[in-house]
Structure 1
Amino acid sequence: MKQLPAPEHAAIVGRLRAAGCVFAEDEADLLVAEAPDAAWLENAVQQRVAGEPLEYIVGWAEFCGLRVHVAPGVFVPRLRTSVLVHEALRVAPRAPVVLDLCCGAGGIGAAILAARPDAVIHAADIDPAATACAERTLGEVAARASAAGPRPAGRSQVYTGDLYDPLPSTLRGTVDVLVANAPYVPTDDIRLMPTEARDHELTAALDGGLDGLELQRKVARAAGEWLAPHGHLLIETSRRQAAATGGILESAGFSASTVRDDEVEGTVAVGERAHHHTSLSLPAQRDG
């Protein structure tokens, strides 16, 4: 639907605001723009008033200027993860091979591919609903890059399985940039998360174990087998956990630094092989 009469639009805004939607006007505009007909719009408003995340209702989330497909239960890309994308692009060589573990809906790999059409993206997640979304988004980004002109066309491949388990053995030792937004919320802290995440996203997409770092340890321990000699390992973390994540990287044989962007509240631990340390790494910041 292109637009609604002002009184009807105002009524939707009022319903959303009464339900606690902070950005009620923007959400109303989006739902009207996405609605194929009045029946869909009414159902969508009812879902939103009942607390369904907006991204699940419209079927996509905006991330780094892209529409990333999402489905109910799939982790919704957060703005803070744009820091992980920026750092991956900073350290990536020409025609990089990128591995995105715990890829969720595929937003990180898609954003890297959109910025670097020469990249080869490998993405993996244990949730088949998430990898189905990732395949759609990465496929669309790759198709747009191919249609844009004679630039080198990158490729993408999505795998379903636990961390490194589904990856082909031919990928070992070839990855230039390994990115991981593995779940890092301590189990006991999930109850403190916003309702939309706690009640609608799969717990497995949030739960990082007792201290939140369980999956980060697993990623870091095996990363050396998959990285090229010059490769980098980048892990999203929190300000509070940054020092511990850096310690995990160092224990796995990497030199570690921390990048923090307060504007989007994003924190990334950057690891590179200690014996290939270069000025690309920023001085370590031990965030508490």
Structure 2
Amino acid sequence: MSPSPAHHTHSSLTFRLRSAGCVFAEEEAELLLAEAGSPAELERMTEQRIAGFPLEQVLGWAGFRGLRIAVDPGVFVPRRRTEYLVELGARFARPGSAVVDLCCGTGAVGAALAAEVPGIELHAADIDPAAVRCARRNVEPAGGQVHEGDLYAALPPSLRGRVDVLLVNAPYVPTTDIGTMPQEARLHEPLVALDGGSDGLVVQRRTVAEAPLWLAQGGRLLIETSVRQAPGTASLFEAAGLHPEVLHSEELDATVVLGFLPE
């Protein structure tokens, strides 16, 4: 018995993707076949992936904490390790809590937290107009608002002093390390979402310094960082008067610095 046409397509698609260097070629072939509405669309998507576009941008979505998060071309793709920010944020958020997803990209962190803690007052912000457009597709259906601008300047002044949970995935890759990142990130994601400046802490430094003005009494600041940079991130918290704790998830290979304003 000869294989079905679909089997032929999956086999040949897997071969093309593997030849292009896609490590998870078989799984990617399944996703592309499921998402494409026609042979022409499948071919277009396959060519994009082979050309090095991130799979999530080709599909138009990323899986994140069990959700399908819309991902537009040219927007930073949410990483699985960033699910740790949501996991930790859910420990402190309650219905009615004011939650901010800063440097939100697609808005995945805020949207996922809203799904896990219904009834939060959610705000997300990013400096990149493309990210803001994409985030609105994910955050507004979850009942949140998305703001465009540079860090806290994007937020409504009415939030000052009453943010209960401030979640931040600011860029933390040192400028000199950008060249070592995978090509799909370097070429197809915005540099503003990757480049953390000379020491990787430039955006974090600004974020942490101003956080006490926005946090409510007992509010928490959570920032994703790397194992290597966690001590530097923690020292920024101390300088701002926040008590830091470095937390790590082996499962997700994720590091977050958590801080709070002492009462």
How far apart are 1:95 and its partner, in Å?
2.1
After superposition, the C-alpha distances for 1:101-151 in whole angstroms (9 at most, x for unaligned) are: 1000000000100001111110000011111111101233x2xxxxxxxxx
Counterpart CA distance in 2 for 1:139 and 1:27 is: 29
After superposition, the C-alpha distances for 1:143-200 in whole angstroms (9 at most, x for unaligned) are: xxxxxxxxxxxx3110001001121111111110011100000000000111111111
Counterpart CA distance in 2 for 1:84 and 1:167 is: 20
* 8 Å Cα contact 2:165-2:221 kept in structure 1: yes
In the other structure, the counterpart of 1:217 is 205
TM superposition score normalised by structure 1: 0.88
After superposition, the C-alpha distances for 1:59-96 in whole angstroms (9 at most, x for unaligned) are: 11111111111112211000111111111111224421
In the other structure, the counterpart of 1:85 is 86
Secondary structure, counterpart of 1:176 in structure 2: strand
Counterpart CA distance in 2 for 1:54 and 1:83 is: 22
After superposition, the C-alpha distances for 1:1-36 in whole angstroms (9 at most, x for unaligned) are: xx9521122111110111111111111111111111
In the other structure, the counterpart of 2:99 is 98
* 8 Å Cα contact 2:56-2:71 kept in structure 1: yes
Counterpart amino acid of 2:255? T
Q: Which ranges of structure 1 fall in alignment gaps of 5 or more residues?
A: 143-154, 277-288
Counting aligned pairs with the same residue, the percent is: 53
**Count of aligned pairs between the two proteins:** 260
Secondary structure, counterpart of 2:135 in structure 1: helix
Counterpart CA distance in 2 for 1:184 and 1:8 is: 40
In the other structure, the counterpart of 1:197 is 185
Counterpart CA distance in 1 for 2:205 and 2:51 is: 38
* 8 Å Cα contact 2:89-2:167 kept in structure 1: yes
* 8 Å Cα contact 1:73-1:202 kept in structure 2: yes
In the other structure, the counterpart of 1:286 is none
Structure 1 runs of 4+ aligned residues shifted over 6 Å read none
In the other structure, the counterpart of 1:239 is 227
After superposition, the C-alpha distances for 1:196-233 in whole angstroms (9 at most, x for unaligned) are: 11111111110000000011110111111111111011
* 8 Å Cα contact 2:93-2:165 kept in structure 1: yes
In the other structure, the counterpart of 2:214 is 226
Q: Which ranges of structure 2 fall in alignment gaps of 5 or more residues?
A: none
How far apart are 1:262 and its partner, in Å?
1.6
TM superposition score normalised by structure 2: 0.96
* 8 Å Cα contact 2:94-2:117 kept in structure 1: no
Answering whether residue 126 of structure 2 is matched by residue 122 of structure 1, we say no
Counterpart CA distance in 2 for 1:91 and 1:262 is: 21
In the other structure, the counterpart of 1:71 is 72
Counterpart amino acid of 1:165? A
Counterpart amino acid of 1:101? L
Counterpart CA distance in 2 for 1:44 and 1:94 is: 40
* 8 Å Cα contact 1:93-1:176 kept in structure 2: no
Answering whether residue 163 of structure 2 is matched by residue 175 of structure 1, we say yes
After superposition, the C-alpha distances for 1:237-276 in whole angstroms (9 at most, x for unaligned) are: 0000111101100100100001101221100000011x23
Q: CA RMSD in A?
A: 1.2
In the other structure, the counterpart of 1:46 is 47
* 8 Å Cα contact 1:98-1:122 kept in structure 2: yes
Which shifted more, 90-99 or 3-12? 3-12
* 8 Å Cα contact 1:75-1:105 kept in structure 2: yes
Secondary structure, counterpart of 2:105 in structure 1: coil
Counterpart CA distance in 2 for 1:128 and 1:4 is: 42
Secondary structure, counterpart of 2:151 in structure 1: coil
In the other structure, the counterpart of 1:62 is 63
Counterpart amino acid of 1:240? R
